[in-house]
Amino acid sequence: MKAREELIARLAETRRAELGGMSDAAFEELKLAVRESPESFVDTPANQAFLLICNAIDRFEKDCEDNDLLDDDEYYRARTKRHARMASDCDQALEIDPGCTDALLLKMLALKDNPEVLLGALLDMEEPVEAEGDAWDNVLLRPQLRIRAAAIRACMDTARYRMAVEKSLEMFALAPSDVLGCRHSAALAYARLEDEAGFEELDARFNHASSAWSLLARAILNFKLGRMGAARRSLAGYSTLVEGGAYALLRPVLIDTYMPDRPAVAPCCFQEAMFAVHEADPIVVDVPDFARWAEDQPAIRAAAQAYADKYGYDW
């Protein structure tokens, strides 16, 4: 979540509504002024609470920076502390604005580790979204879109793949730009459901843009359909096009809860590979032969080991 950019947009829109009759050029000048000193434009409880949420997200992301240096026990202790601090920060925001949707969402994500409980809570938080055009363009509607995206990921975590697809299609109708990346969850869900037509339609909807999710999902889909030649080629494509993709698949790592959505990373980079493998974990666990088969592919194993050797990762 680009919280600071969203804060600036919220503050500028709030001030424009107060002033009224503002030209596009004047609004651009206003946004520059807000960017220069956002705190001086915070004059409503809603925006005060959102500023606290921005600070909380910044703190959370900074606290995650050294995760790679921790062993498992240290990681879980740090995670528990980090999540408790996030929940506390959200409580402070909610004292100012009890209706702060992002604070409610982040607190939920921080405290509810059981995916079944989390999914139920997220579904209860959904409210109707009405927008002309792409709902993402209305900065005040984004919190509700984030709730829906988190619910889709929770559907995946609870093996509700058809529900994940249905809710993703609803999101595409609300926000066709799919800034929150619901298409990534949908790609994995279609693969698990062996729904090739749905997968191909999704791929075409987003102009066949490659990502770690789409490439990995295609390999899983072909494997599930018993097309082993196509599965090998798809897996090879994933390994070739995604930096460290083979290593991420064969040696998955712990990924903390997204607060509140996926961190922005470059397409097909190693970080994206780690996210995709993490999100595909319920599917891989459900289809254990896929992981064993992937590791038995000599080229994939060699690529993974070469990446580990190059960057000093465990193997």
pLDDT (0 to 100) of residue 262: 95
3-class secondary-structure state, position 71: coil
Which CA distances in Å does 131 have to 10, 123, 144, 181?
A: 17, 20, 12, 19
Which residue in 158, 179, 178 sits closest to 169, CA to CA?
178
C-alpha 274/C-alpha 222 separation (Å) is 21
Helix (H, G, I), strand (E, B) or coil at 269: coil
Tokens for 198, please give them.
Answer: 């749905």
Q: CA-CA distance, 267 to 211, in Å (whole number)?
A: 6
Which pLDDT score is estimated for 69? 82
Query: Rounded to an integer, what distance in angstroms lies between the CA atom of residue 97 and that of residue 44?
Result: 9
pLDDT at 21 over 90: no
Q: What is the pLDDT of residues 110-157, one digit of tens each?
A: 999 999 999 999 999 999 999 999 999 999 999 999 999 999 999 999
Amino acid at 251: R
Q: In the structure, what pLDDT confidence band is assigned to residue 198 with cuts at 50, 70 and 90? A: very high
* For the chain, the helix, strand and coil percentages under 3-state DSSP, each to the nearest 5: 75, 0, 25
Q: How far apart are CA 206 and CA 35, in angstroms?
A: 32
Beta strands in the chain (DSSP E): none
pLDDT digits (tens, 9 = 90+) for 31-64: 999 999 999 999 999 999 999 999 999 999 999 9
Residue 68: pLDDT over 90:
no
- Average pLDDT, integer, range 241-255: 96
Give residue-wise pLDDT tens across range 71-105.
889 999 999 999 999 999 999 999 999 999 999 99
Examine the pLDDT at 66 and tell me if it is beyond 90: no
